[in-house]
A and B are shown apart, each in its own frame.
Chain A
């Protein structure tokens, strides 16, 4: 199983994401934003957290138009898997691979803490290691995680079982407590919380590890 992790100027969770993928058994290639092609045989692309391009204009907007993101979109449109965490989620909404957008937190403050998430669906390679309805503890660390989409989009996300995670206690004003969503083909996941920061016992918990484990296992056998 081969994972590629995209690195933008200002990414700061790229190496954490690499370690989480490697611990789950994946081979990992780091890919620079100016590259135009993914390495051959990539199964999943990780778009990491951080502050790509200083969050200029809108979070993720400049990154979404970088050369490598054209390959990310191409990979996803060809049925490939993409995981976007935090700033990575913002980038994926800006590319249009995921609907909606992440606005400034309703409280206008950067929030960094571990909190409880409800797993809403186990119907994806990312969440099949969890039981739907169960609660996991994963940290958030963001200033712009307030999920917004129009009523029609929200209805569609719910009807198609595409909300992957909801906050048990809403930290940022997200509509319907949404913390993570899936694409229509369920192969692209964007989430504000950081599963890679809760994946080893030294992190204070391992609730995030199952996401990488099931993803790597299922794609290795695909």
Chain B
């Protein structure tokens, strides 16, 4: 079973890297990009076969290590 975790900075947390990307896009002539937020995608290969258990376990992984909930939010997709 595979899981995909999306980690994004919470709204209100300044993202200087996203801002640098936005600036670079503008310089390349891509007008109309009002904001860029940069996050992470983490893919996990799991031995678990029960979907609910996998989701619970990956959520615990997010809380403990994969995301820092002081500044980041996360979402879990099980596939």
Interface of B is mostly: helix
A106 touches B70 (CB 8 A): no
CA distance A23 to B4 in the complex (A): 50
Question: Does B65 sit at the interface, judged by CB under 8 A?
Answer: yes
CB within 8 A of B71: which of A57, A65, A148, A173? A148
Which residues of B have CB within 8 Å of A62? 65
Distance in Å from the Cβ of A73 to the closest Cβ of chain B? 13
Task: Please give the number of chain A residues whose Cβ is less than 8 angstroms from any Cβ of chain B in the complex.
Answer: 21
Task: Please give the number of chain B residues whose Cβ is less than 8 angstroms from any Cβ of chain A in the complex.
Answer: 11
* Tally of A-B Cβ pairs under 8 angstroms: 37
B65 touches A173 (CB 8 A): no
Question: Does A220 sit at the interface, judged by CB under 8 A?
Answer: no
CB within 8 A of B68: which of A94, A104, A105, A106? A94
A105 touches B64 (CB 8 A): no
Query: Which residues of B, 1-50, contact A by the 8 Å Cβ criterion?
Result: 13-14, 16-17, 20
Which residue of B has the minimal Cβ distance to A99? B70
B17 touches A101 (CB 8 A): no
B13 touches A106 (CB 8 A): no
Interface of A is mostly: loop
B16 touches A101 (CB 8 A): no
Which residues of B have CB within 8 Å of A150? 70
Extra contacts, 17 of them, besides A65-B65, A101-B68 (Cβ < 8 A), are: A57-B65, A58-B68, A61-B65, A61-B68, A62-B65, A65-B64, A94-B68, A100-B70, A103-B14, A105-B16, A106-B14, A106-B16, A107-B16, A108-B16, A108-B17, A146-B16, A173-B14
Interface residues, chain B, with chain A CB atoms under 8 Å away = 13-14, 16-17, 20, 64-66, 68, 70-71
